[in-house]
Chain A
């Protein structure tokens, strides 16, 4: 007998619908899975058989062939277990032929027949939204977040079979979104003093400008960066969905609602490998940190300690907003629309202050060589963050709260959206004159910077975009003034004496 049941498998961060076909026929008793299953998938033979026996189903002692269609693509993961079990039951005529046509099954089977949750439930279910999806209880929230039409929960194989036969009731999760307490994001009011760094953060959020914070240890670079998500605009439904897909596929813990609620904040350690950052892997392609940070913030602390090859791999995703990961068998596209915040010390000793810094030229130039010019060029904002003043730390009042800053950020973002339909950081070069016209004094200032060779051509465009954002925050939606350009130049300090102070 033959049966076909719908399930899905994971390809990077998207699900792909799979038809599990089972043929039970005459021949020597045996169980074969074809259609390019991976190691985990192949092992499902033993799990399914054990689950059958422990729940009192008869295992057909005949020749069983499982085909995972389309058979040209590699399948991975344990999410096909349940579908294989159902298909075997139908093919062995223990279930009626047409019971499973409207259903799709995504769950792993335990040896005792219980249903277990799987990694990547959201993208898996996302590929079979129009079916009634049967999942384990732990995956219900993710399945709902992925937009499945109907999510059904079964506790074990026997319960599920009973439900399919109409002898028992499915467990369902109620449609109303449960009112769960919000995560508490760190708030900007904790930052005392640091007016320039606060402004830089506000500009970064308002214009989506990549930012490099340079300062001695203890200046509060990480503290500032961690407060960026609290002033970013809320995610749209579309963004929530794509973030949820990536987080689910990478098995990263999420809010109890099964969704990503805020702009993600990822802060990988500097020992991260290239594959860890960009995505990939040999067995199953996994999204990297840049994809997890998509629509949110990627924070690279101690930028100088990252392997140079890892940092240089960021350059293309920074431009394109997606990353194409190609391997011998597959090419996958991962999202990578992140806001990059990096922190670095000004020199190896960390002090940076003239007269206090003990680094000699050689040590300094060796340190600076770790940062490739093209990468540094991609930071719109390069801000030096000084040590906070003792007065601020001990007696100072709390800074402005995130809620107030966020209002200004939102207003500036709307202004930019109305003007060009994009964030200011994304204004095309040939649109700059139209969207960011310069006042004569501002033009003269930029011309002088170019003439003394401190500003490169690419730097010029970046400074103009940043000046546009500063003007927007300042409530000047039309002409960009001299003060805005001067501030943008101040927020793009050079990291080095050796480079001749080029911006």
Chain B
């Protein structure tokens, strides 16, 4: 997908200072990118409402100063360098689901394949400071839904978002490995706040590339935009609009996830929540949503039903793990009650340390237990 001159100009307009989604819609949506650029440059006379816009806050002077040929070249170069496609709201391949939205971005920056938007889509979101259990659940439900050809929309943030994307990638790896399986496997969709060349958080660089390669990453921020705080709530509206059903895995009483929920409710999008312990702070938001009438999610079936899909053929993940040996079973049973450190485990089992280490190592190899910063947790159900 190569960018035409019009697309590059639209990207340049988006990159002008003080241009937000609304002004961009007025400029590019109202005039077309090329005419908007020429108006800003003063080469065309401005229409009434454009003139009114230009009169605000000295914008005419600021924009005319910024809108140079040099900027156009730089924008084009960074689009080419980072392999970013520009999609305008008027383009035929602009995602249909966003086109109908009242606050649709006029210009989208895309890495990957936009056809993913033609699948059924479920947003999986949650807090960045998630618990191990929450991350585990997000990963599992994303994997199960992807296997049932439902595309997962998320935000590539830390915590739940990353776990959800990892889940989709897990499903893909398994799918690629067993290519004989006839079922479809839906690719991931990521909606991010920064420019597509600015990986945030930085430790997600590998995940970011994997998602772009396998599915699609979209953003309304032009290349080079950093993680400014105001971009995240704006991103959340696109994330909400791109989902058919929004699943909140874990959220505090207030935060970015709740903003996404607000945006979803404004658009009459079904919001579902994963129940959690009343003692857990990271489940306060989701429990509140449930008390307000949100449907609960306990596994992928709940979501498939909400989407009106046939859940009876739901390709549930089958437990392929080797059953633990009797000695290992003892260790697993103890861990199933609550997470323990190795130290506590040894104290509780009254076995030689080397023996406990050996059993734990084998259980981990088969996927029955995971280590979480020095704490061992059992994964009895998958």
Contacts and interface: CB of A to CB of B under 8 A. Distances in A.
Interface of A: 193-197, 199, 214, 346, 352-355, 360-361, 384-386, 389, 445, 448, 470, 474, 482-487, 489-490, 493-498, 501
Contact of B343 (A194, A484, A486, A497): A194
Interface string B100-122: 00000000000000000000000
A501 B361 contact: no
A497 B360 contact: no
A355 B373 contact: no
B374 A346 contact: yes
Contacts of B355: 483
B346 A196 contact: yes
Return the 10 tightest CB-CB contacts between A and B, nearest first.
Answer: A486-B361, A486-B357, A487-B357, A384-B374, A483-B354, A483-B358, A196-B343, A490-B357, A386-B343, A486-B358
B347 A389 contact: yes
B347 A493 contact: no
Contacts of A470: 354
Given A352-B374, A352-B375, 6 more contacts: A193-B347, A354-B373, A384-B374, A482-B361, A485-B361, A486-B354
B270 interface: no
Interface size class of B (residues with CB under 8 A): 20 to 34
A196 B158 contact: no
8 contacts: A195-B347, A214-B374, A354-B132, A354-B339, A354-B375, A361-B129, A486-B358, A494-B373
A490 B347 contact: no
Contact of A353 (B342, B356, B357, B375): B375
Interface string B158-170: 1100000000000
Nearest to B353: A199
Contacts of A353: 339, 375
A353 B338 CA distance: 11
B44 interface: no
A196 B371 contact: no
Contact of B341 (A193, A384, A501): A384
B129 A445 contact: no
A261 to B, nearest CB: 33
B327 to A, nearest CB: 12
Contacts of A199: 353
Contacts of B319: none
A356 to B, nearest CB: 11
B56 interface: no
Q: Say what secondary structure dominates the interface of chain B.
A: helix
A313 B246 CA distance: 51
Given A361-B128, A385-B343, A195 B353 contact: yes
A487 B353 contact: yes
A355 B132 CA distance: 10
B131 interface: yes
B180 interface: no
Contacts of B339: 353-354
Interface in B226-244: none
A494 B346 CA distance: 18
B374 A484 contact: no
Contacts of B362: 486
Contact of A448 (B347, B365, B371, B374): B365
B373 A497 contact: yes
A482 B341 CA distance: 21
A386 B339 CA distance: 13
Contact of B354 (A474, A495, A501): A474
A501 B373 contact: yes
Contacts of B158: 361
A494 B374 contact: yes
A196 B353 contact: yes
A324 to B, nearest CB: 36
Nearest to A198: B353
A438 to B, nearest CB: 14
B203 A384 contact: no
Nearest to A445: B361
Residue from B132, B361, B377 whose CB has the most chain A CB atoms within 10 Å: B361
Interface in B354-382: 354-358, 360-362, 365, 371-375, 377
B82 interface: no
B371 A501 contact: yes
A352 B373 CA distance: 8
A485 B362 CA distance: 12
Q: B341, B343, B362, B371 — which one has the most chain A CB atoms within 10 A of its CB?
A: B343
B317 interface: no
A194 B343 CA distance: 7
Interface string B123-159: 0000011011000000000000000000000000011
A214 B375 CA distance: 12
Contacts of A495: 373-374
Contact of B203 (A389, A498, A501): A498
A354 B344 CA distance: 14
Contacts of B354: 470, 474, 483-484, 486-487
B280 interface: yes
B358 A493 contact: no
B365 A384 contact: no
Contacts of A497: 132, 372-373
Contacts of B203: 498
Contacts of A485: 361
Contact of A346 (B131, B356, B373): B373
Nearest to B339: A354
A386 B132 contact: no
Contacts of B347: 193, 195, 389
A196 B344 CA distance: 9
B377 to A, nearest CB: 8
B233 to A, nearest CB: 19
Nearest to B370: A501
Contacts of B346: 195-196
A386 B345 CA distance: 11
A486 B347 CA distance: 17
B232 to A, nearest CB: 15
A386 B344 contact: yes
A493 B361 contact: no
A490 B365 contact: no
Nearest to A353: B375
Contacts of B353: 195-196, 199, 487, 490
B343 A384 contact: yes
Contact of B361 (A214, A361, A489): A489
A422 B23 CA distance: 72
A122 B203 CA distance: 54
Q: Which of A195, A385, A482, A484 has the most CB atoms of chain B within a 10 A radius of its CB?
A: A195
